[in-house]
Amino acid sequence: MARNKRINFLATLTEGYNKVLDIGTDHGLVLKRAFDEGYIKEAIAADLREKPLMQAMKNLKNYPVKYIISDGFLAIKEPFDLAIIAGMGSHLITEILNNAPKQDEHYLLQANEKIDVLRSYLTSHNFEIIDEYLLYDKFYYVILKVKVGTQTLSLEDIYLGPILKDKPEALDYYRHKAHHIEKIIPKADEKRREELKKMLKIFEKF
């Protein structure tokens, strides 16, 4: 993770939580920002690889952080209030969530692409979206805050977001998505073209 608006914004969303778990922590920059701003009291930094975890140790020296080499949640044995899973593809995030504790924790999810895939997974695996955020930092980033629960999403909700669709800042994002879909429809095969046309109709409402 590079130091940027996305890092800072993710850090602000940790405010109000005491113990935060950062899955795929990389250099630990979100946690460092959260500590520096006084948002959190302690943290767990987890990564699949030793090298980025060592870098996180350097960046978070003297902070109240426990470091764990873990494939997602598999080696996480202690409780936490909020887990961050950010900067990955939607399919990888869903694989990680398959092993989530699913108790009273909240989860902060930022997928780099295919946010509709992530929303579809959440509604069919006993997760409830409790808030959605949009950030533009060279690219559009959609961030979901979720907890264990039940929620039924329409096709429109899956593409637009059940909460995001009511936020004014989403309008430019939806127009951007519609423009992008228009560009790729001619290049798609027949089956994909029909899917894209359905998506376009949804985004074109805005």
- Please report, for the domain that includes residue 37, its CATH number: 3.40.50.150
Residue 160, domain member (yes or no) = no
Residue 2 has pLDDT above 90, yes or no: no
- Between the alpha carbon of residue 184 and those of residues 28, 118, 173, 202, the distances in Å are 36, 21, 17, 16
For the segment 97-114, what is each residue's pLDDT rounded down to a tens digit? 999 998 899 999 999 999
Residue 62 in tokens: 């003297």
Give per-residue pLDDT as tens, 28-74: 999 999 999 999 999 999 999 999 899 999 999 999 999 999 999 99
* Domain that residue 98 falls in: 5-153
Pairing label, strands 65-69, 82-88: unpaired
CA distance linking residue 162 with residue 188, whole number of Å: 28
Number of domains, the chain? 2
Q: Taking the alpha carbons of 16, 17, 18, 20 in that order, is the dihedral positive or negative?
A: negative
Same domain, 74 and 135: yes
Q: What is the separation of C-alpha 131 from the centre of its chain, rounded to a whole number of angstroms? A: 11
**174 and 149 assigned to the same domain:** no
Residue 48 lies in a domain: yes
